[in-house]
Structure 1
Amino acid sequence: ERTDDSTIWKNPELPLAVRIADLIDKMTLEEKISQLTADSPAIERFGIEPYKLGGECLHGICNSGRATQFPMPIGMASSFDRKLLQKVADAVSDEARAKSNSPAWGPEPRMPLLFYTPVINIVRDPRWGRAQETYGEDPYLSGELGSAYVKGLQGDHPKYLKVAACAKHLAVQSGPENLRTSFDAVVSKKDLFETYLPAFEALVKVNVATVMATYNRVNGEHCCGSKFLLKEFLRGRLGFKGQVVSDGGALASVHGGHKVTANALETAALCLRTGCDHEIGRNAYPLVGEAIEKGMLDEADVDLALSRILKVRFQVGEFDSPELNPYTEIKENVIQCSKHIKLARKTACKSMVLLKNNGILPLREKDQPILVTGPTAGDLQVLLGNFYRGVSGDLRTIVEGIVANSPEGVTITYQPGCFLTHDNLFDSHWTAGIAKWSEVVVVVLGYSPLMEGEQGECIGSVAGGDKAGIDIPECQMKFLREMKAEGKPIVAVVTCGSPIALQEVHELADAVLLAWYPGEQGGMAVGEILFGKESPSGKLPVTFPKSLDQVPHFEDYTLTGRTYRYMNDEPMYPFGFGLSYTSFEYTAPGISRKRVVAGRSLKVKVSVTNTGQQTSDEVVQLYLKKHDSALVVPNYSLKDFVKITLAPGKTKKLSFTITPEMMSLIDMEGDSIHEPGMFSVYVGGSLPDARSAALGAAKPVELKFELI
Structure 2
Amino acid sequence: MKRYLIFCLVLIQLLFVSMLTAAQTGKCQEKCLPIYKNGLYSFEERVKDVLSRMTLEEKVSQMATTAIAIPRLEIPQYEWSNECLHGLARAGKTTVFPQSIGLGATFDPDLVYRMADAISSEARVYYEQAQEKGNWGKYTGLTFFSPNVNLYRDPRWGRGQETYGEDPYLTSRLGVAFVKGLQGNDKKYMKTIACAKHFAVHSGPEGKRRYFNASATTKDMYETYLPAFKALVQEGKVGSVMGAHNRINGIPCNGNRELLVDILRKDWGFKGYVTSDCNSLSLFVTDHKVCKNKEQAAALAANSGLNLNCGWIYKASLVKAVQNGLVKESTVDSLLSTLLMARFKLGLFDNPKKVIYRKIDRNIVNSKTHQDIAYEAALKSMVLLENKNGLLPLKKDINYLYVTGPNANNPDALIGNYFGASDRLTTFFEGIAQKVPVGTTLQYRQGVMLNMVASNNWTVKEAAESDVVIACMGLTNMLEGESMDAIASNEKGDVLNLSLPEAQLNFLRDLKENVDKHQKKLVVVLTGGCPIILTEIRELADALIYAWYPGEAGGKALGDILFGNESPSGRVPITFVKSLEDLPPFENYNMEGRTYKYMKKVPLYPFGYGLSYTTFEYTGLNMPSTIKAGEALIVSVKVKNTGMTDADEVVQLYISDDVASVQNPIRRLAAFTRVSLKSGEEKNVVLTVQPDMMSVITDCNQRMIESGEFTISVGGGQPVFQTQSYVNGRVNVEGSKKLEL
- In structure 2, the partner of 1:35 is 62
Equivalent residue letter for 1:51: Y
Task: Label 1:285 to 1:226 Cα distance change in 2 as closer, same or farther (>3 A).
Answer: farther
**Whole-angstrom distance in 2 between the partners of 1:390 and 1:270:** 36
What's the % identity of the aligned pairs? 43
- Listed one character per residue, the Cα deviations across residues 371-391 of structure 1 (whole Å, up to 9, x for unaligned) are 1111111111111112x3322
Equivalent residue letter for 1:15: S
Equivalent residue letter for 2:415: L
**1:223-302 to 2 correspondence within 5 Å?**
223-302=253-332
Matched, 1:440 2:468: yes
- In structure 2, the partner of 1:144 is 173
Q: Of 610, 619, 625, which residue of structure 2 is paired with 1:587? A: 619
Alignment length, in residue pairs? 696
Equivalent residue letter for 2:53: K
**Whole-angstrom distance in 2 between the partners of 1:32 and 1:410:** 67
Other structure's SS at 1:457 match: coil
Residue 104 of structure 1: CA displacement?
7.1
Residue 285 of structure 1: CA displacement?
4.1
Alignment check: 8 A CA contact 1:189 1:669 kept = no
Equivalent residue letter for 1:96: A
Q: Of 660, 673, 676, which residue of structure 2 is paired with 1:642? A: 673
- In structure 2, the partner of 1:514 is 546
**Whole-angstrom distance in 1 between the partners of 2:330 and 2:38:** 24
Residue 339 of structure 1: CA displacement?
1.8
Matched, 1:610 2:638: no
Equivalent residue letter for 1:653: N
Alignment check: 8 A CA contact 1:628 1:677 kept = yes
Alignment check: 8 A CA contact 2:63 2:314 kept = no
- In structure 1, the partner of 2:114 is 87
- In structure 2, the partner of 1:165 is 194
**1:320-331 to 2 correspondence within 5 Å?**
320-331=350-361
Alignment check: 8 A CA contact 2:60 2:314 kept = no
Mean Cα deviation higher: 193-202 or 280-289: 280-289
Residue 274 of structure 1: CA displacement?
0.7
- In structure 2, the partner of 1:699 is 725
Q: Of 136, 142, 158, which residue of structure 2 is paired with 1:113? A: 142
- In structure 2, the partner of 1:471 is 499
Task: Label 1:191 to 1:285 Cα distance change in 2 as closer, same or farther (>3 A).
Answer: farther
Other structure's SS at 1:249 match: coil
Alignment check: 8 A CA contact 1:190 1:669 kept = no
Q: Of 191, 199, 221, which residue of structure 1 is paired with 2:251? A: 221
Task: Label 1:362 to 1:664 Cα distance change in 2 as closer, same or farther (>3 A).
Answer: same
**Whole-angstrom distance in 2 between the partners of 1:632 and 1:573:** 25
- Listed one character per residue, the Cα deviations across residues 84-123 of structure 1 (whole Å, up to 9, x for unaligned) are 0011111111111011112576315262110111000000
Other structure's SS at 1:638 match: strand
Other structure's SS at 2:473 match: strand
**1:410-559 to 2 correspondence within 5 Å?**
410-426=440-456, 428=457, 430-485=458-513, 486-487=515-516, 488-559=520-591
- In structure 1, the partner of 2:343 is 313
**Whole-angstrom distance in 2 between the partners of 1:30 and 1:283:** 14
Residue 51 of structure 1: CA displacement?
0.9
- In structure 1, the partner of 2:124 is 97
**Whole-angstrom distance in 2 between the partners of 1:173 and 1:161:** 28
Task: Give structure 2 stretches of 5+ with no counterpart.
Answer: 1-30, 735-741
Matched, 1:409 2:439: yes
- In structure 2, the partner of 1:63 is 90
Q: Of 635, 651, 667, which residue of structure 2 is paired with 1:620? A: 651
Other structure's SS at 1:78 match: helix
Alignment check: 8 A CA contact 2:113 2:177 kept = yes
Alignment check: 8 A CA contact 1:368 1:440 kept = no
**1:376-395 to 2 correspondence within 5 Å?**
376-386=407-417, 388-395=418-425
- Listed one character per residue, the Cα deviations across residues 141-187 of structure 1 (whole Å, up to 9, x for unaligned) are 11110110111111111111111111111011100111111110000
Alignment check: 8 A CA contact 1:164 1:210 kept = yes
Equivalent residue letter for 1:398: F
- Listed one character per residue, the Cα deviations across residues 184-203 of structure 1 (whole Å, up to 9, x for unaligned) are 00000000000000000111
- In structure 2, the partner of 1:176 is 205
**Whole-angstrom distance in 2 between the partners of 1:357 and 1:615:** 18
Alignment check: 8 A CA contact 2:649 2:674 kept = yes
Other structure's SS at 1:102 match: helix
Equivalent residue letter for 2:545: L
Q: Of 577, 590, 601, which residue of structure 2 is paired with 1:569? A: 601
Matched, 1:20 2:44: no
Mean Cα deviation higher: 132-141 or 109-118: 109-118
Q: Of 41, 50, 53, which residue of structure 1 is paired with 2:77? A: 50
Higher CA-based Rg? 2
- In structure 2, the partner of 1:72 is 99
Equivalent residue letter for 1:130: R
Runs (4+) off by over 6 Å: none
Other structure's SS at 1:519 match: coil
**Whole-angstrom distance in 2 between the partners of 1:670 and 1:136:** 26
Alignment check: 8 A CA contact 2:371 2:553 kept = yes
Other structure's SS at 2:651 match: strand
**Whole-angstrom distance in 2 between the partners of 1:511 and 1:339:** 32
Alignment check: 8 A CA contact 1:101 1:331 kept = no
**Whole-angstrom distance in 2 between the partners of 1:240 and 1:119:** 18
- Listed one character per residue, the Cα deviations across residues 643-676 of structure 1 (whole Å, up to 9, x for unaligned) are 1101011111022233322211122444211222
- In structure 1, the partner of 2:220 is 191
**Whole-angstrom distance in 1 between the partners of 2:145 and 2:399:** 46
Equivalent residue letter for 2:209: R
Alignment check: 8 A CA contact 1:188 1:668 kept = no
Q: Of 607, 610, 631, which residue of structure 2 is paired with 1:578? A: 610
Alignment check: 8 A CA contact 2:509 2:540 kept = yes
- In structure 1, the partner of 2:185 is 156
Q: Of 345, 370, 379, which residue of structure 1 is paired with 2:401? A: 370
Q: Of 671, 679, 702, which residue of structure 1 is paired with 2:710? A: 679
**Whole-angstrom distance in 1 between the partners of 2:192 and 2:579:** 42
Alignment check: 8 A CA contact 1:101 1:330 kept = no
**Whole-angstrom distance in 1 between the partners of 2:307 and 2:731:** 47
**Whole-angstrom distance in 1 between the partners of 2:716 and 2:39:** 50
Normalising by structure 2, report the TM-score.
0.92
**Whole-angstrom distance in 2 between the partners of 1:44 and 1:108:** 17
Other structure's SS at 2:36 match: coil
**Whole-angstrom distance in 2 between the partners of 1:342 and 1:180:** 37
**Whole-angstrom distance in 2 between the partners of 1:658 and 1:85:** 21
Alignment check: 8 A CA contact 2:397 2:437 kept = no
Residue 538 of structure 1: CA displacement?
0.5
Other structure's SS at 2:156 match: coil
Matched, 1:338 2:338: no
Equivalent residue letter for 2:729: L
Mean Cα deviation higher: 659-668 or 372-381: 659-668
Alignment check: 8 A CA contact 1:211 1:243 kept = yes
Normalising by structure 1, report the TM-score.
0.96
Task: Give structure 1 stretches of 5+ with no counterpart.
Answer: none
Residue 342 of structure 1: CA displacement?
2.0
Equivalent residue letter for 2:102: G
Mean Cα deviation higher: 302-311 or 660-669: 660-669
Other structure's SS at 2:282 match: helix
